[in-house]
Amino acid sequence: ETGVTQTPRHLVMGMTNKKSLKCEQHLGHNAMYWYKQSAKKPLELMFVYNFKEQTENNSVPSRFSPECPNSSHLFLHLHTLQPEDSALYLCASSLDRVRAGANVLTFGAGSRLTVL
């Protein structure tokens, strides 16, 4: 247990479904991240939140919608996904995003998403 908890661990959904991934940390961190990891591809940073404000959106399609209600919780809302969106979605947190040396990441175990 790293201190970052992701649920669900596995999710199978159809292309018309709406589902959400949840991430929770109680490490006192102020930055939270969503990464996508597909087979044979590097880790792709999707979104960054620093002190609840979205600071980075790396051209992620609008069918992925993040939400950060507070510094401890991060959601990724999914709708009308495509089969190529099947991947391991990793949440991470760090002390903050800005200060050098403060962005050592603590990752959750990931949510394995399969889109049929």
Q: Does residue 74 belong to the site contacting other proteins (CB under 8 A)?
A: no
In degrees and rounded to multiples of 5, residue 11 shows phi and psi of -145, 130
From CA 86, how far away is CA 67, in angstroms rounded?
20
86 contact partners, CB below 8 Å, separation of at least 6:
38, 113, 114, 115
Of the residues 21, 49, 108, 115, which one makes contact with other proteins according to CB under 8 A: 108
Give the C-alpha distances (Å, rounded to integers) separating 27 from 10, 39, 92, 100.
24, 30, 11, 19
If one asks whether residue 50 binds other proteins (CB under 8 A), the answer comes out as no
- Rank residues 104 and 116 by Cβ distance to other proteins and give the closer one: 104
Q: Which stretch binds other proteins (CB under 8 A): 11-19, 41-49, 59-67, 73-81?
A: 41-49
Applying CB under 8 A, the residues found at the interface with other proteins are: 2, 4, 6, 41-43, 45, 88, 90, 92, 97-101, 103-110, 112
